[in-house]
Amino acid sequence: MTLWQGRLGDGMAEEVAAFTASVQFDQALAEDDLTGSRAHVKGLGKAGILADDEVTVLLEALDRVGRELDGGTFVFQPGDEDVHTAVERRVTELAGDIGAKLHTGRSRNDQVAADLRLWCRRSLGAVAEDVIGLQDVLLGRAREAGDAYLPGYTHMQRAQPVLLAHHLLAHGWALARDVDRLVATVERLNVSPLGAGALAGSSLPLDPDYVAEELGFHGRFENSLDAVSDRDFVAEALFDLALLGVHLSRMGEEVALWSSEEFGFCALDDAYATGSSMLPQKKNPDVAELARGKAGRLIGHLTGLLVTLKGLPLAYNRDLQEDKEPLFDSVAQVHLALRALTGLFATLGWDHDRMQAAADGPAVAAIDLAELLVERGMPFRQAHALIGGLVRESLERHVPLAELVEAHPSLGDDAARLLEPGVAVTRRTTPGGAGPGPVADQLERFTRRLGVDRARLALRPGSRGGSPAPGVPGPASSSGG
Ligand code: ARG
């Protein structure tokens, strides 16, 4: 049975049903559909459109549907085009004529928009929690790395030594921006579209503000046309996930490089490596490579949705149904990647000797020599030219740089000592820099930031800690928790 049998009869062609149905994937919205319907029913009761006993009957039917869905006993019927149709059909089976009142004053257009916002609210928060799990591991590994150092690279060329802790926290801070973006996206999307109807509102005395409050939204839509056609929040979510994916890709790329024999900076734990079906000696960084590979898919999902949206006039068009699969898939893939990378980083074995040997190259302290000359009063450009000349001479004449430095009248013993292993990295003393002093400070700041972000997540609307329904404080509120 279709929802529009009054107008079109009941003869939808089979291939049309197959082409237009979304129930196979929008079942993921079932929990949110029930949440939205409960608020809608209460709103109809408050407006006097439903009698109190009708409200009770409908809420009980919705609860029963919820139990059936949870217990796996809910049976989807061939005519259930989407999850909204399926839930309404079952409520009507359970509650007869009263069930047939469920959809009063509502369209699937405002309903699906509401469901999807509720889904994003809880799902993006859960992604952010997994990001914090990975940041936690990075922080732990950074703490335990102590004074270990490795080359920092620019243009893939060894540039200056940096503490391993500093390098790990660089990834940590990028992830902190991801958390920030996810939290901000949730805050922005936390607006109720319910009451917009198909596109223009209703002649019935509905109270969208009441329903919005019931659902823990910050408020209601301002414009019904905008409310049913707005998928900015899906695009934003896909962007947040794509950029997070790009960050995970960068981490994966580094592990793939660092675990290669050429670098040898780290070794994969057996549980986080894969073998080769042909080459017995291989131990492959497939987790790192897939973390890198998934980013392409995530960027594709964002691009696909933007192209879908780009062609649409106001207001709801069925094209919008194409918003869900990329969103669901992006969230699922990012969870998988985050968890696998968290385990990978927790179990990586570092080879400090290899890292440090690579960082102790003869010329990595060249900038420190130049800066020593600056401290002694030489203009920087002149110092740069002088040290550059010595590096060149050392290479051309095959004389160790330290020897030339020691012999130079403007440099000498003190300067040559800067070239000893492990000294250069200690010279990075400025705030946010790569040496032990600023990194100790950074570890404190990062720890504090993680604490703040954990608290923000606990306070987010609809967070697992509290009820997603009335009175959930928004991120700006300081009450509750
Ligand atoms: N399954 C549809 C979607 O996800 C629900 C809305 C359908 N509305 C309509 N007027 N056909 O977009």
pLDDT in tens, 314-356: 999 999 999 999 999 999 999 999 999 999 999 999 999 999 9
Q: 232 alpha carbon to ligand 1 midpoint, in Å?
A: 17
Q: What is the mean pLDDT of residues 451-461?
A: 91
pLDDT tier at 254, thresholds 50, 70, 90 = very high
Our mutation pick for probing the ligand 1 site, out of 8, 230, 318, counting the most ligand atoms within 8 A of Cβ, is 318
Q: Which amino acid is at 299?
A: I
What pLDDT was estimated at residue 263?
A: 97
312 CB contacts (<8 Å, ≥6 apart)? Answer: 229, 319, 320
Q: Is 97 exposed, middle or buried (0-12, 13-18, 19+ CB in 10 A)?
A: exposed
Q: What is the mean pLDDT of residues 432-455?
A: 97
Atom nearest to 316 CA in ligand 1: 10
pLDDT tier at 1, thresholds 50, 70, 90 = low
Q: 172 alpha carbon to ligand 1 midpoint, in Å?
A: 40
Residue nearest to atom 12 of ligand 1 (CA): 321
What CA dihedral angle connects 145, 146, 150 and 156, to 10 degrees?
Answer: 60
What pLDDT was estimated at residue 9?
A: 65
Distances (CA, A) of 310 to 20, 214, 229, 319: 21, 33, 12, 11
Q: How far apart are CA 234 and CA 190, in angstroms?
A: 12
Q: 321 alpha carbon to ligand 1 midpoint, in Å?
A: 6
Q: What is the mean pLDDT of residues 66-72?
A: 97
pLDDT tier at 474, thresholds 50, 70, 90 = very low
Strand partners, 204: none
Active site residues: 155, 276
345 CB contacts (<8 Å, ≥6 apart)? Answer: 134, 137, 138, 141, 251, 255
Residue nearest to atom 11 of ligand 1 (CA): 318
Q: 451 alpha carbon to ligand 1 midpoint, in Å?
A: 41
Q: What is the mean pLDDT of residues 381-402?
A: 96
What pLDDT was estimated at residue 478?
A: 33
What pLDDT was estimated at residue 8?
A: 73
Residue nearest to atom 3 of ligand 1 (CA): 321
Our mutation pick for probing the ligand 1 site, out of 112, 116, 118, counting the most ligand atoms within 8 A of Cβ, is 112
With a Cβ cut-off of 6 Å, ligand 1 is lined by: 22, 26, 82, 108-109, 112, 316, 318, 320-321
Q: What is the mean pLDDT of the chain?
A: 93
Our mutation pick for probing the ligand 1 site, out of 2, 7, 12, 321, counting the most ligand atoms within 8 A of Cβ, is 321
Tell me, yes or no, if the pTM score tops 0.85: yes
Domains (range + CATH), the chain: 14-104 (1.10.275.10), 120-149+162-357+434-477 (1.20.200.10), 361-420 (1.10.40.30)
- pLDDT beyond 80 at 5: no
